[in-house]
Amino acid sequence: MGADFTVTLLNGRKTDVYFLSTIKELSAKLSAYGRRVLWVFDSNSAALFTNLPANSVILPSGEKNKTFSSIEKIISAALDAHLSRDSVFIGFGGGVVCDMTAFAASVFMRGCSLILVPTTLLCMVDASIGGKSAIDFKGGKNLIGTFYPAKDVLISSACLRTLPQQEFISGMGEVIKHAFLTEDDALYDFLVKNRNAILKKDRETVSEMVNMSLRVKASYIERDPEEKLGIRQALNLGHTFAHALETTANFSIKHGIAVAWGLSRAAYCGAELGITSRELQEKIDSLLSLYSYDIPYRIGRGEWLDFYSSVGKDKKRLQGGVKFVLLEAQGRPVLRELEQNLVKSAVISAPSRIS
């Protein structure tokens, strides 16, 4: 069975992406990787199995566990299983698990084969392709990591069957972001037209949406595999606001929900500077509202110093300053430093709630 599409990265390294309709198809594909395999789960993805495969390691779920300690557990499990450089690490779960499995695979014996099986919508559309692996460090999100693309990414919307709706909505934040990173309205129109089927997690509709979303992401990462040309940074649209919000909230706000909020805040700042049209700002906020994101949310004044300190720790700092991604037009991202007062006006008002 051939890949549905292939992403070509640095030095011709390729990631083959497979869309598998059923769990049976997914299982058949996984069995082809043989026995010299280490499976990495978290407590959520492990619950999908009645009996776990041999050579499995289960990590605690959640962003707070994205640490060196978890990497040590993965590598220790590989050594205990007598695996070597010709072995395969399979990350099975959400973005945290896939990021950590990729990081561990990149440093185990100076690099072994990597397969990713994303089981959340967020991971399918955000963390599965592109080769970025990372852990958090000293309050900074994804500060330590490598570029290490998976050999294969296996996507089955059947894995989303038991995904909590709030986790699904989190993933939609990244999908909506991708809709505004392409000049083509196809993904935007698809999201408007198919809202009800998407929110019901209709298998075929979601598979088509994930495919469309990933192709937008691939168009950026193939042109800038190691994020050195400024092209790939466009994928961080909304993320500087989002990461600061996540950190300030001690990661109690889900990543994709923070990204959706950050996308709205970036549109606001762009419009205030005359970079983004008010029409595009309204188009962004309208689609986010269609999917019930809390766009009016603002942080409390007492949270401002922590928030802005987190902005300063953002890993996307260039030449001493933080570059925010804004939109000159749909599909035309630009990088800009923002004055502190503009950021403050974008994120502060009377406290409200985000969930």
Whether residue 252 is predicted with pLDDT greater than 80 in this model: the reply is: yes
188 and 147 in one domain? no
Residue-wise pLDDT tens digits, 188-242: 999 999 999 999 999 999 999 999 999 999 999 999 988 888 899 999 999 999 9
184 and 134 in one domain? no
CATH number (domain holding residue 52): 3.40.50.1970
124 and 25 in one domain? yes
Per the domain annotation, does 213 fall within a domain?
A: no
Whether residue 57 is predicted with pLDDT greater than 60 in this model: the reply is: yes
Q: How many domains would you assign to the chain?
A: 2
Band of residue 171 on the pLDDT scale cut at 50, 70, 90: very high
Beta-strand pair 56-59/37-42: parallel
H or E element that contains 304: helix 304-312
Per the domain annotation, does 41 fall within a domain?
A: yes
Per the domain annotation, does 217 fall within a domain?
A: no
CA dist., res. 39 & res. 132, Å (int): 19
Per the domain annotation, does 113 fall within a domain?
A: yes
- Across the chain, mean pLDDT equals 91
CATH number (domain holding residue 314): 1.20.1090.10
Among the listed residues 332, 331, 348, the one whose alpha carbon sits nearest the alpha carbon of residue 340: 348
Per the domain annotation, does 298 fall within a domain?
A: yes
pTM comes to: 0.90
152 and 14 in one domain? yes
69 and 131 in one domain? yes
Per the domain annotation, does 168 fall within a domain?
A: no
Give residue 273's domain range: 178-200+223-347
